């Protein structure tokens, strides 16, 4: 880490899946935090015995010292056969607005010429997060001329009457060692209702070297008049990157200032990925994944805000 950069203090593994049930067979990926009565509800994606991701949650106390409850069943399940999310649903973001919870997620479909497709979907809860219903059997960000390959992993902030989204968009596939390999970076779009989005092709985080091919899972916060984004980027293995912007559109990558990297050994020694950053009790918290894209679980890191 470069001199003067505030580092995240790793607090270790918070939650891991140990073949708890048929739907909760492996992985706890892409954590998303939502407040509950006396602590936090953390939504995550777990894989069933057939490797299909679905969305559930666990709840902790207010200082993340104890996991109090794990959902018995997924709250966002697989889509019906033939829909864009019939092969998997993975967490991305939650917005609470007008007493409703908007749960943005990525829906997965298996492919033939390429191994998979995914697109942004939306499920809404009107009972405080107990149940969710899809707004449509179709994605809210389908393929178009701006995003001809895939969309995924939205981060959404509501500012005034504008819903602002940063999301993953593919720029294409190539053959790497004889197999299709995806390429995707981070774009931006806007909405007036959180459901219908206007896409103009604004690129926020782009590749910075020929070896880089995946920039994933943006997490944006607004702090002291500055937009700050953490995300995953990879060549050989995922690392957590960082960027800053004055307007949320034009970003400067400062990956050396992300404040976190792999450990020398253990559950996050090979990769760190899928950060979710939020502030509570005058501290900043980061939940993130380590080795195996969430196979080893969800970790916690803390730092004092500026």
Whether 229 maps to a domain, the answer reads yes
Positive or negative torsion for Cα 161, 166, 78, 172: positive
Whether 5 maps to a domain, the answer reads no
Whether 28 maps to a domain, the answer reads yes
- Total of domains in the chain: 1
Whether 170 maps to a domain, the answer reads yes
The CATH number assigned to the domain holding 65 equals 2.115.10.20
E strands, 37-160, are 39-47, 53-61, 67-70, 88-97, 100-110, 116-125, 133-134, 151-159
pLDDT tens track for 154-173: 999 999 999 999 999 999 99
Residue 258 has pLDDT above 90, yes or no: yes
Whether 7 maps to a domain, the answer reads no
Residue 227 has pLDDT above 80, yes or no: yes
Quote the DSSP letter at residue 263: -
Whether 10 maps to a domain, the answer reads no
Mean pLDDT over residues 55-70, rounded? Answer: 91
32 with 41: CB under 8 angstroms? no
Give the Cα separation of 161 and 42 in Å (integer). 27
pTM score of the predicted model: 0.95
What tokens appear for 125 in the block? 């809860």
Whether 119 maps to a domain, the answer reads yes
Whether 12 maps to a domain, the answer reads no
With cut-offs at 50, 70 and 90, classify the pLDDT of residue 63.
Answer: confident
What is the extent of the structural domain holding 293? Answer: 19-303
């Amino acid at each position: 880490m470069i001199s003067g950069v505030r580092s995240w203090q790793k607090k270790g593994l918070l939650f891991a899946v140990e073949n708890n049930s048929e739907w909760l067979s492996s992985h706890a990926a892409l954590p998303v935090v939502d407040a509950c009565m006396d602590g936090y509800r953390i939504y995550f994606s777990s894989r069933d015995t057939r490797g299909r991701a679905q969305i559930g949650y666990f709840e902790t106390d207010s200082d993340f010292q104890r996991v109090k409850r794990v959902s018995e069943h997924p709250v966002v399940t697989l889509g019906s056969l033939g829909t864009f999310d019939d092969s998997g649903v993975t967490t991305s973001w939650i917005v609470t607005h007008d007493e409703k919870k908007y749960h943005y997620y990525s829906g997965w479909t298996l492919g033939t010429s390429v191994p998979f497709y995914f697109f942004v979907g939306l499920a809404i809860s009107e009972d405080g997060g107990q149940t969710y219903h899809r707004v449509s059997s179709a994605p809210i960000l389908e393929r178009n001329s701006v995003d001809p390959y895939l969309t995924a992993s939205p981060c959404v902030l509501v500012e005034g009457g504008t819903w602002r989204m940063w999301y993953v968009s593919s720029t294409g596939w190539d053959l790497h060692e004889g197999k299709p390999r995806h390429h995707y970076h981070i774009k931006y779009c806007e909405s007036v209702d959180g459901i219908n989005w206007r896409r103009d092709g604004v690129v926020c985080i782009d590749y910075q070297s020929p070896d880089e091919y995946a920039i994933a899972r943006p997490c944006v916060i607004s702090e002291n008049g500055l937009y700050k984004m953490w995300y995953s980027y990879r060549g050989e293995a995922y690392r957590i990157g960082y960027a800053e912007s004055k307007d949320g559109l034009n970003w400067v990558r400062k990956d050396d200032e992300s404040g976190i990297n792999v450990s020398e050994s253990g559950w996050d020694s090979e990769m760190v990925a899928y950060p979710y950053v939020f502030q509570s009790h005058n501290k900043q918290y980061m939940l993130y994944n380590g080795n195996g894209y969430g196979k080893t679980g969800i970790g916690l890191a803390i730092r004092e805000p500026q």
